[in-house]
Amino acid sequence: MHVLSPPAALSADRRDRLHRRIRLIVAATISYNVIEAAVAIAAGTAASSVALIGFGLDSVVEVLSAAAVAWQFTRRDPERWERPTLRVIAIAFFALAAYVTVSSAVALAGGAEVRHSTIGIVLTVVSVILMPFLSLAERRAGRELGSATAVADSTQTLICAWLSAAVLAGLVLNSTLGWWWADAVAGLVIAAFATHEGVEAWKGDACATSVGMILEAQEGDEPDDS
């Protein structure tokens, strides 16, 4: 695993701009996921789709993660809140993994017939396109700032994109070939990755696209700017 070195000294103006950028990205992520959750749960209920309903619940988890980062970056000294915010993100990862595992297992065991959902397919296509851009923007800002929480949240957003692709594949394959089990199998793979990321975030190691960031934040090692 690669370790990201502490960022070079940033000017106060550059640091403020990065803080604002992360707040805007997180606000956009929260807004989209609130809409996504409502649409996915409604469409999933109409189509009797466990995957779509679960996808909507995943959006709720994504909102929790993004909200934790948004809260952190409203603090006067966001860096001091890295550890507790990482713990919240870790719990969100574990919740995501648990939900994907349970919903996938239920889908595989039940083999219930899922009706075609045009709304569900359109929604997941939009998510597959949009989420990677939000993830990349937040990860770049977070790495420059040296924020493990922003990087961890960007990974959460990227997992949402992968989950969107899995649900999309399942909906399309179910509608065209009758392969109702496809998205459930992909979901189990995503659940394993989400569990790994949750463990790393809990330990204080936020990984994103094979990049590790380890923060050894000792308050005694930092100058007191109070």
* Listed range (31-40, 78-87, 141-150, 184-193) with the worst mean pLDDT: 78-87
- The pLDDT of residue 207 is 41
Instruction: List, for residues 19-33, the tens digit of each pLDDT value.
Output: 888 888 888 888 998
Token duo for residue 32: 């989209």
Q: 211: pLDDT confidence band, cut at 50, 70 and 90?
A: very low
Instruction: List, for residues 49-86, the tens digit of each pLDDT value.
Output: 877 887 887 788 778 776 777 777 777 766 667 777 77
- The pLDDT of residue 214 is 29
Q: 40: pLDDT confidence band, cut at 50, 70 and 90?
A: very high
Provide the whole-model pTM: 0.68
Place of tokens 């959006």: 59
Per DSSP, the chain holds a count of helices (H) and strands (E) of 6, 3
- The pLDDT of residue 128 is 93
What class does CATH assign to 12-221?
A: mainly alpha
Q: 141-145 long-range CB contacts below 8 Å, 24 or more apart? A: 141/18, 141/21, 141/22, 141/25, 142/22, 143/4, 143/7, 143/211, 143/213, 144/7, 144/10, 144/18, 145/7, 145/10, 145/15, 145/18, 145/19, 145/22
Q: 213: pLDDT confidence band, cut at 50, 70 and 90?
A: very low
Q: Delimit the domains of the chain by residue range.
A: 12-221
Q: 188: pLDDT confidence band, cut at 50, 70 and 90?
A: confident
